[in-house]
Amino acid sequence: MTRAAINIKGDGSIIDITSLGKSDITVDHPGPGQYLVHGTLGMAPPPEGWGYVINQLDSGASVATSFTDGVLAVSVAKEGEPADLLHSLTLHVSVDDLPPAELPLPEPGTSNPLEQVLAETARRRAIADAAIAPLQDAVDLDEATEAEAALLKEWKRYRVALNRLPEQPGYPNSIDWPAPPA
């Protein structure tokens, strides 16, 4: 079981998903304040997760969750009435681990250099995404320490550097890999 974070907009669309495991999560929005999340194992229990984080625009809303028959039901209410989110909600959920076949690790001397670089970049990006998610949550909630805010910037710089690898001379045959934050 792996922790993931999913950001859902008020209309039920997914902003993004950050996961080291499965990320084939979908959301149905059958009515006001109702969000049905498919593809999770329910909410991530502490210490892996801490429930949900609601955007400041929706600070007066109440949120309730339940997990039945593989569906995570999220209900949002304002002043006791079902209501759509004005902005968004981040859910900290559990998901199945990826099978080893879906976690590509490059093997020297096999396949072409571009495939190896893309696989290693994806692996490093997944590590960065997992490190960024809880730090970004702390910043979004104005609960981040100075050290957490600084570490978030370092992880984001690392992720940007990974995205810029194709700009390096000699790519993909010669890569100067950026160092992840310590």
- Mapping DSSP onto H, E and C, the string for 117-148 reads HHHHHHHHHHHHHHHHHHHHHHHHCCCCCHHH
Span 56-71, average pLDDT = 90
Decide which of 86 and 130 is more confident.
86
Span 113-118, average pLDDT = 82
Span 129-140, average pLDDT = 87
Q: What is the pLDDT of residues 26-63, one digit of tens each?
A: 999 999 999 999 999 999 877 666 688 888 888 889 99
Residue 166: pLDDT over 60 = yes
Span 12-29, average pLDDT = 88
Residue 122: pLDDT over 70 = yes
Comparing 19-33, 57-71, 124-138, the range with the smallest average pLDDT is 124-138
Residue 1: pLDDT over 80 = no
Quickly list H helices, 19-78. Answer: none
Q: Which amino acid is at 106?
A: P
Q: What is the pLDDT of residues 83-103, one digit of tens each?
A: 999 998 989 898 888 765 554
H/E stretch holding 154? helix 146-163
Which sequence spans correspond to the domains of the chain? 2-95, 104-167
Instruction: Find all residues with CB under 8 Å of 168, minimum gap 6, and list them.
Output: 174, 175, 176
How far apart CA 152 and CA 45 sit, in angstroms, is 23
pLDDT at site 103: 46
- Whether residue 106 is preceded by a cis peptide bond, meaning omega within 30 degrees of 0, is no
- Supply the Cα-derived Rg of the chain in whole angstroms: 19
Question: Could you give the percent of the chain with pLDDT greater than 90?
Answer: 40
pLDDT at site 172: 87
pLDDT at site 20: 74
How far apart CA 88 and CA 13 sit, in angstroms, is 10
Instruction: Find all residues with CB under 8 Å of 67, minimum gap 6, and list them.
Output: 40, 41, 42, 43, 73
pLDDT at site 40: 94
Q: Which amino acid is at 51?
A: G
pLDDT at site 70: 92
